[in-house]
Amino acid sequence: MQGSANLNLMIKAARKAGRALVKDFREVENLQVSSKGPGDFVSRADREAERIIKEDLMAGRPTYGWLGEETGAAEGADPTRRWIVDPLDGTTNFLHGLPHWAVSIALEHKGEIVAGVVFDAAKDEMFVAEKGAGAWLNDSRLRVSGRGRMIEAIFATGVPFAGTGPLPATLQDLARLMPVCAGVRRWGAASLDLAYVAAGRYDGFWERGLHAWDMAAGMIIVREAGGFVSAIREGDDPLEKGAVIAGNAGLFEEFRKVIRGA
């Protein structure tokens, strides 16, 4: 696709950070067997990836604001635009040597996400979208799935871990959804879950307790692939509340009703 200068900047930064992370990921596989384990090493890799991305993006657009998982928020001279970055989404997968993690970069303008990049560096899959220009995986246009029957559909979610989130709500969601669909997956990287909805690999995704950087880029990729995204609770802003639901055009309403318990 012919992306804007901003999108190209985002893609370049994601590739650079992705290359560094792939090298570190190979190292993690060796560290699994040491008694100290790879924990500190992965935290360093995560911080280094954010440093690489921040350096590139801020050099290219010095007036934009910033929200990053590792370095937090900073307002820019231009208060209408900011980067929203998760340098390593799926940290637990990375730590355990599971090749399912991504670099996630979004651009927000006046409170709306206008471009997004989710780069699965281990599989060399670059998911990108820009408002009005469609969504792409490498050089192919993305479309959400055309499935229209819940019983044939596969949904992804994230479940709270280590006491971090609303476990009973998620268990209730599962109790309502599992009997009426073809399956539920939990792969551990929310940005990729959303990208997979855009690619038609999943028919929908929902999760509570997320941060803006986990979902901002994936949200525009789903929308530009013809899917729908909203907060789980009616009227909320998903980026603010951290509870998001996304789905293909045919099933979104029905899926959302099941998750809302309506």
Binding positions for ligand IPD, rule: CB under 6 A? 69, 86, 89-91, 158, 188-190, 207, 209-210, 214
- Residue 73 C-beta: closest distance to ligand IPD, Å: 16
Place of tokens 């928020």: 73
- Residue 34 C-beta: closest distance to ligand IPD, Å: 22
The three-class DSSP label of residue 163 is coil
* Residue with Cβ nearer ligand IPD (38 or 158): 158
Q: What are phi and psi of 226, to 5 degrees?
A: 95, 10
> CB-based contacts of 110: which residues, under 8 Å, 6+ apart?
80
Rg (CA), the chain: 18
Measured CA to CA, the distance from residue 85 to residue 51 in angstroms comes to 11
Which residue's beta carbon is nearest to the bound ligand IPD?
158
Chain centroid offset of residue 74 CA: 21
* Residue with Cβ nearer ligand IPD (89 or 224): 89
Nearest to 66 by CA among 46, 49, 48, 86: 86
* Residue with Cβ nearer ligand IPD (61 or 193): 193
- Residue 229 C-beta: closest distance to ligand IPD, Å: 15
* Residue with Cβ nearer ligand IPD (10 or 244): 244
* Residue with Cβ nearer ligand IPD (13 or 190): 190
Q: Which long-range contacts (CB under 8 A, 24 or more apart) does 169-177 make?
A: 169/208, 170/208, 172/261, 173/206, 173/258, 173/259, 176/258, 176/259, 176/261, 177/255, 177/258, 177/259
* Residue with Cβ nearer ligand IPD (166 or 226): 166
- Residue 141 C-beta: closest distance to ligand IPD, Å: 25
- Residue 139 C-beta: closest distance to ligand IPD, Å: 26
- Residue 209 C-beta: closest distance to ligand IPD, Å: 6
